[in-house]
Structure 1
Amino acid sequence: MAARLEARATRHYFDSAFQCQAVKVLPNEYYVTNEDLMISTVLGSCVAACIHDPVIGVGGMNHFMLPEGDMQSPASATMRYGAFAMEVLINELLKAGAVRDRLEAKVFGGGAVLSAMQQMNIGERNGEFVLNYLRTEGIPVKAQDLGDVHARRINYFPRDGRVMVRKMAPHHQRAEEIIAKREQAAAQSVQAKTESPQRIERFTRPGVERFDRPARPGVERFDRPARPGVERLDRPARPGVERFDTALTRPRRTETAGD
């Protein structure tokens, strides 16, 4: 219980772009709410699952670094591992009133944004893990944007399940610097956690992320009525913003205004 409470995101702010209250989820954190606000995170090789009960309008997001740890080790029971992070997110949704049979998921991240991460296939492994986990749990995946070489900013609206994804240009220097700091800090935390299993790692914010220069995003939407299937974005994605609302069809793309 203490680990879950410490892993709950606490960074509230007002988002001037969306003109709404928001909560920032850092690596190894989660957030569940039925409030009309936005949950945001930035992903490199990490994966975020956005899970939603559309009937009562409760939803949540997690942000995990690695698929699974050693199940025999106490250190595996932390939010950095997907197995634990998914269990925590689902259980917190159920405690908030969600019904398991109504849960729907949208999953994002797993990008090979750094050469070292490409060699270890961390992003690919994270993506495969989350899809397999949700399949095993019987939770349908309504949309996904996994893999590729892009870092992503995720903006999730848990009341209605909308998700907007901004993809940063591959090898964008500023994006790489921030993602590198994030994932280096995460790797160091993994080592520290292994040495001290009872300590819950906390991440400090490595500066203010800005990925909107020089590329200006487009917009993709996933908000038309859902029908059976799983949204796939297998084509090479250009930097921009995508929307993942409730649709399962390929998104419309509309360009935003220039700088």
Structure 2
Amino acid sequence: MSAVPELHDGAFAHINRYWDRMNNAPAAKLLPGECYVSVSSAELITTVLGSCVSACVWSPKAGVGGMNHFMLPEGERDSGWGPAVSNATRYGTHAMEFLVNELLKLGAERDDLRIKMFGGGRVMAGMSDVGARNIAFLRRYAREEGLEILAEDVGGPWPRKVVFFPASGRVRLKKLVSLHNNTLLEREQDYRRRLEGEDVAGDVELFE
């Protein structure tokens, strides 16, 4: 088995990194609420999405990229970027801001960033369509920040498995017509409960 590349930033030490036998490449697997940025030309990033969304962001010139996995908290309407920024908008903005700032730190230029977005399915019966809110937030964030979404596969009743190759921006996507167990739903429900009791501290910093 080949070695997993050395971790370039201790901020990602908690991420599950392993050797992906199917793709014969090192991989990082994201759970809800996590983010990872890779500097390796061989490494891939993977996750499974239900109601959550992921933004796959990369810089073709710098050869670096990353992915996040998040959802907006429930309980309040999204109020946009105005002075009274809702906690939901604040949380989503933080998830995107962290990812983009990490790429800029690694030499990416803002004008060179590319985005693909996935997820936002309505997979939990009887629950509000939080997936649609996540999709709307990410589209508006990209528009307000001047970042073009090159491709997307969002909505619908399906969970999705996403495999992102950050050096090239290539994505492999599989819609999961049926789940063999409740692990995905349990993880998202646990994540949702954690969000309900979590405040996002500090001001929202929007990119210039």
The reply to whether TM is greater than 0.5 is yes
- TM-score, normalised to structure 1, is 0.65
Closer, same or farther: CA 72–142 of 1 in aligned 2, 3 Å: closer
Residue 38 of structure 1 pairs with residue 44 of structure 2: yes
1:16 Cα shift?
1.1
* Aligned with residue 110 of structure 1, among 120, 128, 136: 120
CA contact (8 A) 1:47 1:64 kept: yes
Amino acid at match of 1:188: R
Deviations 1:54-93 (A, max 9, x none): 11211010111117698476x986xxx3211011111111
Alpha-carbon distance between aligned partners in 2 of 1:126 and 1:165, rounded to the nearest angstrom = 19
On the 8 A contact 1:32/1:93 being kept in 2, the answer is: yes
Q: 1:83 and 1:8 mapped to 2: Cα distance?
A: 23
- Give yes or no for the alignment of 1:96 onto 2:101: no
What's the secondary structure of 2:67's corresponding residue?
strand
Match of 1:29 among 22, 25, 34: 34
1:193 corresponds to which residue? 198
Task: Tell me if structure 1 keeps the 8 A contact 2:165–2:171.
Answer: yes
1:179 alignment partner in structure 2: 184
3-state SS of paired residue (1:128):
helix
SS in structure 2 opposite 1:115?
coil
Q: Is the 8 A contact 1:7 1:29 kept in 2?
A: no
Q: What residue in structure 1 maps to residue 57 of structure 2?
A: 51
Matched, 1:138 2:138: no
Separation in structure 1 between the aligned mates of residue 131 and residue 10 of structure 2, nearest angstrom: 27
What are structure 2's unaligned runs of at least 5 residues?
1-8, 202-208
Instruction: Please state if 1:162 is matched with 2:170.
Output: yes
Which protein has greater RCO, CA pairs closer than 8 Å, 6+ apart?
2
Give, in whole Å, the separation in 2 of the partners of 1:113 and 1:185: 15
Structure 1 vs Structure 2: percent identity of aligned residues? Answer: 41
What aligned pairs does 1:237-252 form with structure 2 within 5 A after superposition?
A: none
Supply the distance in 2 between the matched residues of 1:6 and 1:116 (Cα, whole angstroms): 36
CA distance in 1, matches of 2:198, 2:99: 21
Shift of 1:5: 6.7
TM-score by length of 2: 0.80
Report how far residue 9 of structure 1 moved. 5.2
Aligned residue number for residue 18 of structure 1: 23
Residues paired across the two proteins, number: 184
1-structure distance, mates of 2:147, 2:10: 24
Please give the alpha-carbon distance, in whole angstroms, between the structure 1 residues aligned to 2:132 and 2:196.
21
Q: Distance in 2 between matches of 1:181 and 1:107?
A: 23
Letter in 2 for 1:65: M
Matching residue's letter, 2:132: E
Partner Cα distance (1:181, 1:85) in 2 = 21
Checking the alignment, whether the CA contact within 8 Å between 2:89 and 2:137 is kept in structure 1 is: no
Uncovered stretches (5+) of structure 1, i.e. residues with no partner: 199-259
Conserved? CA contact 2:48–2:162, under 8 Å? yes
Q: 1:65 aligns with which of 60, 63, 71?
A: 71
Distance 1:162 1:173, change over 3 A: closer
Cα gap change, 1:102 to 1:58, in 2 (>3 Å): same
